[in-house]
Structures are given as structure tokens and as C-alpha cells.
Amino acid sequence: MDYSELFSADTHNFMRSPVRDIFKKVDLSKIYSFAGGYPHPSTFPTDRLASMVETVRQKYGDKILQYGATQGTNELQEALSKRYDVPADNIQITTSSQQGIDVTARVLVDPGDVVLVADPSYLGAIQSFKSYRADIVGLDLTPSFEASKQRRATIQALVDAGKKIKFFYTVPDFQNPSGETLTLAQRSELVALAREFGFLILEDCPYRELRYEGQPQTTIYTLAPERTIHLGSFSKVFAPGLRLGWMIAAPEILDKVYVCKQALDLCPPVLDQYLAAEWLSSGELDRNLEKTRELYRGKRDLMISMLEKYMPEGVSWTHPEGGLFLFLTLPEHIDTVALYDKALAAGVAYVAGSFFYANGTHRNTMRLSYSFIDDEKIEGGIRILASLIR
């Protein structure tokens, strides 16, 4: 039968994730994959998991398998409250930080509302905003006087056209896909614009703890707690197979999220929350993070040295201070979307950069991830990629 008349208007704006569709088709362990932002499995406490389960069972008994509170377990809220020095009432546990993105859009966006994003931006966020029929406007965040004037002018023009701007979405630390980190000046400019034009900032920080050099930047939430929704994730500091993230925001905003989440999925995964609270409060998270940072720092350095060794002239890349990604810019005439099937046939996977731009431009860019691939495969993969580009 034909269902097309029954689907909601939102579905016409649904956008498939080319990244997750790649994972559906290809066994990434069999090729040189720079595609997904998967953590390296050696960072997971797989071998200790059963004994961790036994620990939380002894502490909490049957509660680990029962329904939990919609806002999250007390134990996890309190562990996060302590670590990030915010009241527990300002914390909502989410079933993944992707849910944090989606539920934010749900409680803020009406069709036609503007969501501002950095250009390029995380694909899963663009996907979510589009699905609520937001008008997504990409801003070039280049830190120059000219670009800053342009940003203000773009926003002013939107307001003049009667558009409602709801929030600016950013991954300020080691961005997905660019790997770049916003300076304090860039963060302050965003806050000033948000205050002037009355919009919020959605600060998405899944990689913040993965810094390999340099000093941490102040969070945007610290600069403007009243108008920032801050998202954190356990996927890169514990395990993504436990679907857990958190939101830090004003209680008035979290109250809407709370009521929405009752209908979304009642509560976050409960066993996962007890494991995460234990991981955090026992100090395992910090001990493991040290090793994780060392591992990824080595992978980043190896990938950059291989890019330097093999890439032809005209190819440049970002130098991330942390996170899982770097971003390549190729000569103008190379289309990385068109190149993709050839690359896959040659055994290399990446994500075309244009997918991360609100309007699909920059077809000569690509995102490479160094987190999941084993060290000994990095050279081989980059060599193949370089020969394809050449």
C-alpha cells in the first residue's frame, strides 16, 4: 500500500546520514577507515565490565534494572554536579548527547525558525535541525574584523527579514569535522551576538576532555550560563555502546526538556547510568582518560606525519589540539563526493566535507578520523588516498 499520504510534513525534510549509511553497507574493520568518529576499542573497559556490574549490583541491588527517574539517577546527577561544579538541578541526563541536540531542537524550533551553525558543522546536528524544518544558516567563523562584520550583518539581515533566530549551534572544542577549537575571542563574540539578538547558544562538547596539548578554553556556558545549553557525552570518555550524555542549562529550559523526555523514552538507560556514575566517582574515568589522550595524541601525530610524507602539493589540513578528526582541503578541481566510490573500491573510507556545510559547498574537502583505525593501517590508508588525489 501507499503510505505517502500518511507521513507527517517533517518527514519530507528528513535527511539520511551519509556517515551512518556507510556503516550499514561496509564492514569498516576490513578496510582503511578514516570515516567514523568511533572511539578506539582499546579505550573501553571491556575486560572489567562484568566486575563493574557486580560492584554496582552490590551497591544498588535491583535498582540497576528497574525504571529510573526521567531526569536521571541521583548518583549520576551528583557525580556530574561535583565534577563540573553546577547544581544537580541544572543537569538533565540524556539518552546520548545526540538526544540532547534533538530534544533542544524539539523544545525550541518551529518550522521556519533560524538555527545558526558554524560552517562546517556536525552532521547529526544538521540532520536533527532539518527534521524540525529549521532554516539552517551557516556562519563563517574566521577570526577577522571583516568576517566578524559579515557575521553581524548576516544576523541583522535575518532579523530585518522577520526571522526568529532560536540558537547558535557549535562544537567549540576540536570540532567535528574541522578539528578546530574556538578561541576565547570567538566565544566572546558569539555570546555578545546572542545577547544582542536574543538567541541561545547550544554548546556541544563531546570531545572537550580529549585535549592533547595546550590549555583548555573557558566553556561558553561559563561565559553566559543564562543563555547556554551545554551538552556532554560519555561516548568518548567511557563507551558509546552505553547511550549516555548530559545537558547543563537553566532549570526553566530543563523543565521543558524533562516533560518532553517523559514522552520520548521515560528515562535514560538505568544500568548504563549506574556504571557511568561508578566510572566517574571511582576515579577510573580520569585514569583511563590519561591513557586515551596518549593513544589519540600518538595517532594524530602519526596521521599528520603520513599526510606530510604522501600528500601532493595543494593539499592542506588542520592541526587539531585534541579530539578525533582533522579536515583536509584539496585542490579546487577535486570533488570528494565523486571520488568516494573510487576510494572505497581501493579500500579507503572517509567522509566528504561538503556534507558538513549547511549549503553543501566545499566539495574539495574531506574529514579524516584517526581514532578508530589501528596505527599500522594509517600509513597504508593515507598512501592510497594520496595516490587517488594525485
Q: Under rule CB under 8 A, which residues in 238-297 are in contact with a copy of itself?
A: 239-243, 250, 252-253, 256, 259-260, 262-272
Nearest distance, CB of residue 387 and a copy of itself, angstroms: 30
Region 152-171 residues binding a copy of itself, contact defined as CB under 8 A:
166-167
Q: Which is nearer to a copy of itself, 69 or 86 (CB)?
A: 69
Give which of 286, 379, 355 is closest to 32, Cα–Cα: 379
Region 13-52 residues binding a copy of itself, contact defined as CB under 8 A:
14-17, 20, 23-24, 36, 38-39, 41, 44-47, 49-51
Nearest distance, CB of residue 37 and a copy of itself, angstroms: 9
**Using rule CB under 8 A, residue 367 touches a copy of itself:** no
Nearest distance, CB of residue 351 and a copy of itself, angstroms: 14
Q: Which is nearer to a copy of itself, 153 or 266 (CB)?
A: 266
Q: Work out which of 151, 187, 211, 227 binds a copy of itself, going by CB under 8 A.
A: 227
**Using rule CB under 8 A, residue 1 touches a copy of itself:** yes
Per-residue CA distances from 223 to 14, 186, 217, 220, 348 (Å): 34, 12, 11, 5, 42
- Applying CB under 8 A, the span of 75-83, 127-135, 305-313, 352-360 interacting with a copy of itself comes to 127-135
Relative to beta strand 325-329, strand 365-369 is antiparallel
Q: Which is nearer to a copy of itself, 34 or 317 (CB)?
A: 34
Nearest distance, CB of residue 310 and a copy of itself, angstroms: 29
User: Quick one: cell of 18?
Assistant: 551519509
Per-residue CA distances from 236 to 169, 274, 296 (Å): 20, 17, 11
Q: Work out which of 7, 140, 153, 213 binds a copy of itself, going by CB under 8 A.
A: 7
CA distance 187 to 73: 32
Number of residues in the chain: 390
**CA angle at 267 for the pair 264 and 273, rounded to the nearest 5°:** 135
Nearest distance, CB of residue 384 and a copy of itself, angstroms: 25
Amino acid occupying residue 248: I
Q: Which is nearer to a copy of itself, 48 or 309 (CB)?
A: 48
| Total residues in contact with a copy of itself, by rule CB under 8 A | 88
Unique residue bearing C-alpha cell 562584520: 149
Nearest distance, CB of residue 240 and a copy of itself, angstroms: 5
Q: Work out which of 67, 146, 214, 290 binds a copy of itself, going by CB under 8 A.
A: 67
Q: Work out which of 22, 35, 64, 79 binds a copy of itself, going by CB under 8 A.
A: 64
Q: Work out which of 109, 155, 220, 352 binds a copy of itself, going by CB under 8 A.
A: 109
CA distance 37 to 21: 14
Give which of 320, 132, 117 is closest to 212, Cα–Cα: 320
Alpha carbons within 13 A on the beta-carbon side of 326: 23
Residue 5 DSSP label: T
Q: Which is nearer to a copy of itself, 26 or 386 (CB)?
A: 26
Unique residue bearing C-alpha cell 578496510: 31
Sequence-ordered strand ranges (E) for 256-324: 316-317
CA distance 263 to 99: 13
Q: Which is nearer to a copy of itself, 132 or 327 (CB)?
A: 132
Residue 211 DSSP label: B
Nearest distance, CB of residue 315 and a copy of itself, angstroms: 29
CA distance 172 to 188: 12
- Cis geometry, peptide bond prior to residue 177 (ω within 30 degrees of 0): yes
Site string for a copy of itself, 197-226 (x = CB under 8 A): -xxx-------------------------x
Q: Which is nearer to a copy of itself, 146 or 161 (CB)?
A: 161
CB atoms within 10 A of CB 38: 17
Nearest distance, CB of residue 13 and a copy of itself, angstroms: 10
